[in-house]
Amino acid sequence: MVEEEVNNLTLDDDDDVVDPWNVASKSETGIDYDKLIQRFGSKKIDDEIIARFEQVTGKKAHHFLRRGIFFSHRDIHSILNLVEAGKKFYLYTGRGPSSDSMHIGHMIPFMFTKWLQDVFQVPLIIQLTDDEKVLWRDIKIEDARQMAFNNAKDIIAIGFDPSNTFIYNDLDFIGQCPAFYQNMLRIQKCVTFNQVKGIFGFGDSDVIGKITFPSIEAAPAFSTSFPFIFGDKVVPCLVPCAIDQDPYFRMTRDVAARLKMPKPSLLHATFLPALQGAQHKMSASDVNATVFLSDTPKQIKNKINKYAFSGGQATVEEHREKGGNTEVDISYKYLTFFLEDDERLAEIKKSYESGEMLTGELKKIAIDTLTPIIQEYQARRAKVTDEVMQEFFKLRKIDF
């Protein structure tokens, strides 16, 4: 039985791609996320799950759940069952640090993670995979470490609290924590080269570090990797992440069965599209396609006015007559991510689609919505000193 589950790791030939952005069907309206669910074999977050979330937490579901921005899951019911039984779990997420300043798309999983942490009052572990970037890119170890520390500050500024959040970078942490390395090794012993080839598409010319890396991203999903936080307690784990990280956790879940550890549950996010249109992913390397967390109000305004793909018509007359298309309009899309007020959003949709609201007016609303969010973020970011950061990095017990 246990053997069988691990063998299931070998996926079909055409599943050997780690980046869903490349495998997904895309159209003018963006990625077909339902197809991605079918392909990955995860489950859709439907109305029933949202209702259960609300019933268990006694709180209104986050608008990312209500609007399908977090759209897919694995085994979220076991986490909700635990909560109902008065038991605890922990959250684990991460980021591969990059030199570029973080953009608003990077914020999405972390904003949602913070909400989950507030609602459930559980510890959160954030892994910064500076080692991953050394292996995958032409980056020196020292530079990758530095990027991890800078990105840690960017993440902390989203609003995390050191009393229940532990952040670490792999390059410094793994040598300090024998239990982590031991779990890595247990995981490495459960997965063959054939299996990682099937899941991640590694080939003969990939460096061997890449082949073991999945064990490093998997290990934090087991509470025994962090004895200074959890002692020897086996605590189940929930991983909020963008859908492109799913292959790591498909692997982790199979390994968990073999190690007789709880399988991590998952909540998957869609991607925030680039300014240029829903068929492009927001990417830090394309400055004009991207709103950065470090942008000034003027830059935000210019970028949206100049580059945000519009679903409006060519002329005002035509627009009044036919109305705008909110399915492809990027300013509207951003509002679905950043404007919390459902009623206001519905009014905007109606007014734009009827032709009453013009593209310029919609863009202004998007600018006026994003700008204060980014300014407030920047004010928090300015307060994250080295000392503040070190609080999050300390190996310590976390009460929960």
Residues contributing to the site for ligand TRP (CB under 6 A): 93-96, 127, 129, 132, 217, 239, 241, 245
Nearer to ligand TRP, 90 or 307 (CB): 90
Backbone angles phi, psi at 26, to 5 degrees: -120, 145
Nearer to ligand TRP, 98 or 369 (CB): 98
Nearer to ligand TRP, 126 or 345 (CB): 126
Nearer to ligand TRP, 257 or 267 (CB): 267
Nearer to ligand TRP, 247 or 312 (CB): 247
Residue 27: both structure tokens together: 């159209």
| CB of 288 vs ligand TRP, minimal distance in Å | 23
Contacts of 95 (CB under 8 A, 6+ apart): 106, 126, 127, 128, 129, 151, 155
117, 28, 112: which is closest to 328 by C-alpha?
28
Nearer to ligand TRP, 29 or 99 (CB): 99
| CB of 186 vs ligand TRP, minimal distance in Å | 18
Contacts of 10 (CB under 8 A, 6+ apart): 194, 195, 198
267, 273, 271, 168: which is closest to 225 by C-alpha?
168
d(CA 247, CA 70): 17
Q: How many CA atoms lie within 13 A of 36 on its CB side?
A: 28
Contacts of 211 (CB under 8 A, 6+ apart): 193, 196, 202
Torsion (CA) 2, 4, 5, 10 in degrees, nearest 10: 150
| CB of 333 vs ligand TRP, minimal distance in Å | 22
Nearer to ligand TRP, 49 or 238 (CB): 238
State the burial class of residue 174 (Cβ atoms within 10 Å of its Cβ: 0-12, 13-18, 19+).
middle
SS3 for 44? strand
| CB of 166 vs ligand TRP, minimal distance in Å | 13
| CB of 241 vs ligand TRP, minimal distance in Å | 4
d(CA 39, CA 15): 8
Nearer to ligand TRP, 93 or 313 (CB): 93
Residue 19: both structure tokens together: 């980046």
| CB of 292 vs ligand TRP, minimal distance in Å | 17
30, 54, 104: which is closest to 299 by C-alpha?
104
| CB of 221 vs ligand TRP, minimal distance in Å | 8
d(CA 22, CA 31): 10
Nearer to ligand TRP, 31 or 239 (CB): 239
Torsion (CA) 51, 54, 55, 59 in degrees, nearest 10: -160
| CB of 239 vs ligand TRP, minimal distance in Å | 5
| CB of 366 vs ligand TRP, minimal distance in Å | 26
